[in-house]
Structure 1
Amino acid sequence: MEVHGELRGPSPGQPQVDGKFLEVDGRRFLLKGVAYGTFAPDNQGSQFPSAERIEQDFALMAAAGINTVRTYTPPPPALLDAALRHGLKVMVGLAWPQHIPFLDDRRLTRSIRREAVTDVRRIASHPAALLFALGNEIPAGIVRWHGHGRIARFLSELYEDVKAAAPDSLLTYVNFPPTEHLDLDVFDVFAYNVYLHREPELRGYIARLQHLAGNRPLLLAEAGADSLREGLDGQSRITASHLRTAFAEGAYGAVAYSWTDEWWRGGQSVDDWAFGLVDKARHPKPALAAVKQVFANAPFPSSDRTMWPKVSVVVCAHDAADTIDDCLTSLAGLTYPDMEVIVVNDRDLVVRHAGVFALAEVASRQDLVARIKDKSRAVQRAVLLALARQRANEVQQFLKHEDEQFRYEAARAIYETPIPGAMQSLALFVYDDEPDSERIDWRAIQAARMIGEVEQGEALVHLATKANHSRKIRLEALAVLAEWRTPHGQCRVIGNWRPTKHPDADIVAQNFRGSADELLEDKVTSEATANTIAKLGLREKAPILAALVRNKDMPAKARVAALNALADLKVDELQQALAGIGTTAPVPLRKRAVALLSHTSPEKAVPVLGSLLSNASTGEKQAACEALGNLKHEAATELLRTWLQRLRDGKVAGAVSLDLLEAANKHEALKPLVTAHEQRAKKIGPLGPFAMCLDGGNANAGRKVFHNFEATRCTRCHTLNNNGGNAGPVLNGVGKRLTPEQILASLITPSADIAEGFSTTTVEQTDGMIIAGVITKDQDGEIIIVDINGKESRIPVGKIRSRSANKDSAMPDVAGTL
């Protein structure tokens, strides 16, 4: 947008940013503000009170220690003049239709930008003007409609337009938590409206806002409470807490919302809110006195000033021979009551981080490169980390450093930042016959994976064959080769999404084919090699895979992997391999053979499965049941019928009972027998149908049910190893405290025996809403109640009509889910 007109220079006392604060007339300015408006428009359309009322208001504000008035529309000159007379600054808000999809109308957006420039240019030179808010709380729905990127770009363009017209003015946009994701880095001041009435939560959120603000000043642009809902004393307490917390957490200012109960919004007066420090008739509320006290003590309460914190002055003393005496002499002249001076030489991590951060911002790449070979390791380290922050290719020079820590930091920066221009240098580590540290070689493998050319693939094959490299590194090389044809998009180091492509994958597969025999004979790499052969589709390696299945000297996992590879490759050697697996084979191999046999040769599988049910381990019996359930073959049905009869006669081990019933239930002919068994179990009692769950099962599957399955995720309400909810008892050590039967009963009949302190309560609120759950806290004038779904609700005691204890547990029985 082109801006016309003569630009005027800054007036005396022009506000400016000083680090995390503002400076006016050369002195730090703490903004102690109050919101003013919006007011109903008068006959001339002005949204401000009369001149007499403004004089009265500003006199009261000044007497209360308020130094800034925040308006929501551009004020007239008379208001600015009145502010100046009373020693007040004005934070000027610009009003435009941000509550509608304004970006859909180009004429409207041009008008917004044009009027903003006009308003700021008119006001900027007035000595009462402190800063300008170019917008306030664009609704989250509008941000979602346009997309946060478009909104951020528009605000950035609006900033540039206004800055061009008034380059010395300070500009902000007032955001709020629902649109926290907006990128507002362009603005001079970071401003937020926040209404969190509990001080710990407010402290935590302001700390987060300080992180988002970075090096810019942070303003709490609105804070306060409604006296209609909180009461006069509640409003006073909450508003004072908001302002006091803002200053305590390092904000340069805070604005109380609002001066008066008058509030005009959407073309009408709002009468059911009363946020004012004074009422409509300008009678002060208790909140005004509370705000006056907070502002008088800002930024720290006077009670805190009697115990100043201990201060450490850290002097970074590298190459400081010429200046250290003067520095320490100057420090000795400070009068701070409790101070220590620490002289360090690259020993403090926090100081080092701060120095690197500054160095990366102010030093040129050329200056940093010139110090790469500095005689001081501290300087070398700072140069390395600063170059990494600049994403400079010269970081690769540290890959040849004699110190492993330097090589690792360089490898980490190149791969994880990333620095594409240095990736090839990192990948060269894969070619080395002699290993470096695992953490460096691991990232070198990933660099080769990201580059993905034939040369890198062949280097990974070579690396996998080098026995002098660690097991972890060799297996990682094979894992990357296994997915060479279709590489997964997720990074194998830090887990973020970094898709890549590998051209000429057939050439790499051909190269791997030549080393596959050697790798299959190596006990370290045999399992992973079998998997890689299958993934790359090397069917010609079937004979040596079959030989690995038969080789009793090889690890069981490798033999299972070879068997799986034969199945994946769909080769004739699979049947031969299955036939050669006898009763003396390792259990994992026999279990896998049974599963494969049931798919490939059902008529041959049933006799084998029957033998396993009679003579094998529990795990093999469970696998046999699963295979029989999946076999839709008459022989399988009859074998299961025989074993159901044994179950009825009490001749089946408890650890296999559930697996047997689940398998039988998959055969239509056997469902009546399963139903009959369930009916007999129900006659025993509520736990009868689940007695079979006391033995057997699968621990890994159970762990998933416990942690991941939404319907049974126990950690919603229970804590285990310091993780989870607090609506139920802590589960650490429950297996030692309770018998299996007691644990089962707590799941099926939870109300029969409720743990002490975890009975449920029904709470009826004054608005008629009813919540039932476990009360986890009852203090500070509120209760916290957690319902059956793990949802936490906070209810002020004043809003509770009644509460009554229940005999039922908040935990639902999980019989249907199980």
Structure 2
Amino acid sequence: MKNYIGIIIIVCSLVSCQSTSQSTIVSVNGSHIDVNNTLYTIKGICYHPVPKGSPNNRSWATLTQDLALMTEAGINTIRVYEPIDDIKVLDEIDQAGIKIIIGFGYNQGGKNDIKSGTFIDYVNKYKSHNAILMWELGNEYNYHPEWFGDDIKNWYKEMNDAAALIHSEDSNHPTTTAHGDLPDALALEMSPNIDVWGMNVYRWDNPEPIFKQWKSVSSKPMYLSETGGDSYMKITKAGYEQGENQKAQADAAKNILNKVFDNQDICSGVTLFSFTDGWWKAGNNDVQDIGGYAPNSTGIPYDGAPNEEYWGIVDIDRKKKLVFDVLKEKYSSLSKTKK
């Protein structure tokens, strides 16, 4: 009898482990995203946790703390700029009830990147994991034709071919991209295999015009893959004083999020930039520097300057900024039926 009980326990354990790794089905339903046939609204954040002093190496040392803060804020989706090749990290994110938009870069040294084709190995390895929401190809590459022989058409072809390969291997998760602002006719024509269009949109504190612009050119789902403002004012402007200014960031986020969720008939949500300040971006990685550069960044509220190391909803030590409560209030106020 003891042997039978042992076998039962082992079998049950195996079934339990398998069930935690079974993917949900993410699909496109007209202009919206469904998860298991239920409308999914992206209440998200961009996430690239680099500790003090690091040159740009992610660390998962604060993952448990970060996920607790995200859960408190009502975040249901994180967007990462490179794949997470650690099952324990993916499992912990899943256990927190959060899904991931996995980003693939074009050239990442032949590891999980588009240029080498190794991205598809990652897709096949993790396509059954419950945490996966979408596969993202590229981030604002339309701003960098110089990376593709000075002809952006080369990128659109690579992106579309990569999306087709994903479709052939994984029918349960859409393909997406993070395009710099509204894709033009060329981008749309050359990229029929992109299922959901993410757009990095910095139009001051009012992205609303892009929703009508999108509706006029496509019936596919879209979401804002990056938007928001930083907490440093390079100059005094629009009533906000020069220097560190969390109120400017909070006010901008509030206005932006209101516009996003006022347009849910078109927009599937947002991954606000960003979870934590990134001290690696602009200078000495051991201190928080003023400055930095981002392409097409004149639309940053309210000074037109990105100040790349001041974008977090929490600072590098995970202390909440004013914008954290703005995000929490907005995300938590959305219908409980919309994950």
TM-score by length of 2: 0.73
Contact persistence 1:173–1:190 (CA under 8 A): yes
- The answer for the alignment partner of 1:60 in structure 2 is 69
- The answer for the alignment partner of 2:180 in structure 1 is 176
**Is residue 2:201 matched to residue 1:185?**
no
Cα deviation digits, residues 554-587 of structure 1 (max 9, x gap): xxxxxxxxxxxxxxxxxxxxxxxxxxxxxxxxxx
Specify which of 254, 276, 282 is matched with residue 270 of structure 2: 254
Cα deviation digits, residues 389-421 of structure 1 (max 9, x gap): xxxxxxxxxxxxxxxxxxxxxxxxxxxxxxxxx
Moved over 6 A (4+): 107-111
- The answer for the alignment partner of 2:38 in structure 1 is 27
Secondary structure, counterpart of 1:190 in structure 2? strand
Go from structure 1 to structure 2 and tell me whether the alpha carbon gap of 1:17 and 1:197 turns closer, same or farther (over 3 Å shift): same
Secondary structure, counterpart of 1:275 in structure 2? coil
Q: CA deviation at 1:294?
A: 1.4
Aligned-CA RMSD value: 3.2
Equivalent pairs counted in the alignment come to 279
Alignment of 1:57-96 (within 5 A): 57-75=66-84, 76-96=86-106
Secondary structure, counterpart of 2:141 in structure 1? coil
Contact persistence 1:259–1:278 (CA under 8 A): yes
**Is residue 2:122 matched to residue 1:119?**
yes
- The answer for the alignment partner of 2:162 in structure 1 is 158
**Is residue 2:316 matched to residue 1:280?**
yes
Specify which of 205, 208, 211 is matched with residue 206 of structure 1: 211
Structure 2 stretches lacking a partner, 5+ long: 1-20, 234-239, 291-308
Go from structure 1 to structure 2 and tell me whether the alpha carbon gap of 1:263 and 1:218 turns closer, same or farther (over 3 Å shift): farther
Q: CA deviation at 1:284?
A: 0.5
Give the partner amino acid of 2:160: S
Go from structure 1 to structure 2 and tell me whether the alpha carbon gap of 1:134 and 1:268 turns closer, same or farther (over 3 Å shift): farther
Go from structure 1 to structure 2 and tell me whether the alpha carbon gap of 1:111 and 1:228 turns closer, same or farther (over 3 Å shift): closer
- The answer for the alignment partner of 2:289 in structure 1 is 271
Give the partner amino acid of 1:83: I
**Is residue 2:226 matched to residue 1:222?**
yes
**Is residue 2:22 matched to residue 1:11?**
yes
Give the partner amino acid of 1:148: I
Aligned counterparts of 1:41 and 1:124: Cα–Cα separation in 2: 32
Contact persistence 2:227–2:273 (CA under 8 A): yes
Q: CA deviation at 1:274?
A: 0.4
Aligned counterparts of 1:267 and 1:118: Cα–Cα separation in 2: 35
Aligned counterparts of 1:173 and 1:11: Cα–Cα separation in 2: 24
Aligned counterparts of 2:92 and 2:155: Cα–Cα separation in 1: 35
Q: CA deviation at 1:217?
A: 1.1
Q: CA deviation at 1:173?
A: 1.0
Go from structure 1 to structure 2 and tell me whether the alpha carbon gap of 1:138 and 1:218 turns closer, same or farther (over 3 Å shift): same
Aligned counterparts of 1:15 and 1:120: Cα–Cα separation in 2: 14
Alignment of 1:683-694 (within 5 A): none
Secondary structure, counterpart of 1:155 in structure 2? helix
Aligned counterparts of 2:145 and 2:196: Cα–Cα separation in 1: 23
Specify which of 50, 65, 75 is matched with residue 60 of structure 2: 50
Structure 1 vs Structure 2: percent identity of aligned residues? 23
Go from structure 1 to structure 2 and tell me whether the alpha carbon gap of 1:27 and 1:111 turns closer, same or farther (over 3 Å shift): closer
Go from structure 1 to structure 2 and tell me whether the alpha carbon gap of 1:178 and 1:18 turns closer, same or farther (over 3 Å shift): closer
Go from structure 1 to structure 2 and tell me whether the alpha carbon gap of 1:255 and 1:22 turns closer, same or farther (over 3 Å shift): same
Aligned counterparts of 1:41 and 1:179: Cα–Cα separation in 2: 35
Aligned counterparts of 2:118 and 2:87: Cα–Cα separation in 1: 17
Aligned counterparts of 1:70 and 1:238: Cα–Cα separation in 2: 20
Go from structure 1 to structure 2 and tell me whether the alpha carbon gap of 1:249 and 1:14 turns closer, same or farther (over 3 Å shift): same
Secondary structure, counterpart of 1:157 in structure 2? helix
Aligned counterparts of 1:209 and 1:262: Cα–Cα separation in 2: 31
Q: CA deviation at 1:61?
A: 0.5
Larger radius of gyration: 1
Aligned counterparts of 1:169 and 1:18: Cα–Cα separation in 2: 12
Cα deviation digits, residues 470-513 of structure 1 (max 9, x gap): xxxxxxxxxxxxxxxxxxxxxxxxxxxxxxxxxxxxxxxxxxxx
Alignment of 1:61-460 (within 5 A): 61-75=70-84, 76-97=86-107, 112-142=115-145, 145-177=149-181, 180=184, 181-183=186-188, 184-199=191-206, 202-212=207-217, 214-229=218-233, 231-250=245-264, 251-262=267-278, 264-265=280-281, 269=285, 271-272=289-290, 273-298=309-334
Q: CA deviation at 1:34?
A: 0.5
Contact persistence 2:44–2:272 (CA under 8 A): yes
Contact persistence 1:38–1:71 (CA under 8 A): no
Q: CA deviation at 1:293?
A: 1.3
Cα deviation digits, residues 257-283 of structure 1 (max 9, x gap): 100112545997473330100011111
Aligned counterparts of 1:211 and 1:248: Cα–Cα separation in 2: 18
Cα deviation digits, residues 502-556 of structure 1 (max 9, x gap): xxxxxxxxxxxxxxxxxxxxxxxxxxxxxxxxxxxxxxxxxxxxxxxxxxxxxxx
Contact persistence 2:176–2:195 (CA under 8 A): yes
Give the partner amino acid of 1:259: F
Contact persistence 2:231–2:310 (CA under 8 A): yes
Aligned counterparts of 1:110 and 1:257: Cα–Cα separation in 2: 23
Q: CA deviation at 1:12?
A: 4.8
Structure 1 stretches lacking a partner, 5+ long: 1-9, 301-818
Contact persistence 1:73–1:94 (CA under 8 A): yes
Contact persistence 1:38–1:264 (CA under 8 A): no
Go from structure 1 to structure 2 and tell me whether the alpha carbon gap of 1:42 and 1:119 turns closer, same or farther (over 3 Å shift): farther
Q: CA deviation at 1:128?
A: 0.7
Q: Whose helix proportion is higher, 1 or 2?
A: 1
Contact persistence 2:43–2:331 (CA under 8 A): yes
TM-score by length of 1: 0.32
Give the partner amino acid of 1:132: W
